[in-house]
Amino acid sequence: MRDVAVIGYGMTKFGELWQTPLRDLFAEAAVACLADAGVERGRLQSAYIGCMSSGLFNGQEHLASILCDYAGLAGLAATRVESACASGGAAFRAAYLEVASGASDFVLAGGVEKMNDGADATYCLSTAADQEYEVYHGITFPGLYAMIAHAHMHRYGTTPAQLAAVAVKNHRNGALNPYAQFPVEITPETVLKAVRVAEPLGLFDCSPVTDGAACVLLCPVDVARELGKPVIRVIGSGHATDAIALHDRPDLAAIPVVGLAARRAYAQAGITVADVDFCEVHDCFTIAEIVCTEELGLFERGRGGPAALDGLTARDGKHPVNASGGLKCKGHPVGATGVAQIAELVMQLSGRAGARQLKSPRIGLAQNMGGSGGSCTVHILEVGS
């Protein structure tokens, strides 16, 4: 396999972008990405675009073709990739493998979702759960994650204050992110007193409904060097799936697909979690960040909650998590999220993260998850020479 680097990124601001059609979202991010990389569009050979459900949200399939055409990229070998909320991570992995294979030198990995377009977002999102055995009976994602939270609280003593600490920390980081949907700080009281969505999760335990797009550009490390780019290398790519129905998995207080994908990524990279300087973690709900940090090995099982409350995951903590603001504050356009995580890694590793810049990180990890844990990608990037 060829060594692969990420040499540019582009993003829209995340938010309720009622005036911006689906195709324009992607075009804005793609054009910004190519400009950032300094690569002319004629050199692109291929694109993978993560999107969960443009069919249900926007009545538009055949997505990669129409998006690339509108971005001035008609002709590309372009493919849409779907794995619910892990669609962006899956698109990045496919792009990585195509460059690694030697088939193409310049491959775009994009993600997009336009969730505010008139469709019932709660229904559209519910199709990431098991339609016949979960959704039909009335459950949606806040309810599924509430069950995970209840199990985790019962087993390990995780508290509402620990959940709230995740949201407060992510808003503190995201307040410094110009791409964020809600760039404002919040207090623990705001989280704890917010209207309940599904006990024990309140409004501020849940990521929002968001429109947005993100793109990154991949090429061989040798080509990145020739272009005079800082070498941000993909050293690990882990991907795994699991049963998507919660009742089909043995333990409600765990999300084993995350651990499986992480182990695959660590093994490829030849590192342990101790070598990772910072992480972007899939905090679709506050409890998700807690469980995922445990599955990634940052903390022992049951210690994710105390770690969040004690500041270990803050930007100046031992294990910075979601310096971008995470899904909670930055927003969660589901198909774009996984690619936006990679974009944050690129910004941090190249020292371009502005007010939220971490101190000289060398290795970053992005963990992107589908549904209640039916799929997961983990990517590890290292800046070097």
Binding site for a copy of itself (CB under 8 A): 1, 21, 46, 52-53, 55-56, 58-66, 68-69, 74-84, 90, 93-94, 97-98, 100-103, 124, 127-132, 135, 237, 239-244, 248, 260, 264, 370-371, 374-375
> Of 332, 379, 344, which is closest to residue 176 (Cα–Cα)?
344
Q: Which residue has the tokens 């069950």?
A: 147
Q: CB of 354: closest distance to a copy of itself in angstroms?
A: 33
Annotation says 85 is catalytic = yes
Q: CB of 381: closest distance to a copy of itself in angstroms?
A: 17
Question: In this structure, what are the phi and psi dihedrals at residue 130, rounded to the nearest 5 degrees?
Answer: -75, 110
Q: Which residues pair with 368 in a beta bridge?
A: 377
Compute the distance between CA of residue 179 and CA of residue 174 in angstroms, rounded to an integer. Answer: 8
Q: CB of 254: closest distance to a copy of itself in angstroms?
A: 15
Q: CB of 267: closest distance to a copy of itself in angstroms?
A: 12
What number of other Cβ atoms are within 10 A of residue 257's Cβ?
A: 26
Write down the catalytic residue from 85, 215, 284, 376: 85
Residue 164 or 240 having the CB closest to a copy of itself: 240
Residue 18, C-beta contacts closer than 8 angstroms, at least 6 positions apart:
116, 211
Residue 170 or 237 having the CB closest to a copy of itself: 237
How does DSSP classify residue 317?
Answer: S
Compute the distance between CA of residue 181 and CA of residue 19 in angstroms, rounded to an integer. Answer: 15
Q: CB of 352: closest distance to a copy of itself in angstroms?
A: 29
Compute the distance between CA of residue 242 and CA of residue 86 in angstroms, rounded to an integer. Answer: 13
Residue 75 or 157 having the CB closest to a copy of itself: 75
Q: How many CA atoms lie within 13 Å of 271's alpha carbon, on the beta-carbon side?
A: 23
| CA angle 54–58–61, rounded 5-degree value | 45
| Residue pair 302/222 in contact by the 8 Å Cβ criterion | no
Residue 58 or 173 having the CB closest to a copy of itself: 58
Annotation says 332 is catalytic = yes
Residue 200 or 259 having the CB closest to a copy of itself: 259
Write down the catalytic residue from 150, 152, 319, 332: 332
Catalytic sites, residue numbers: 85, 332
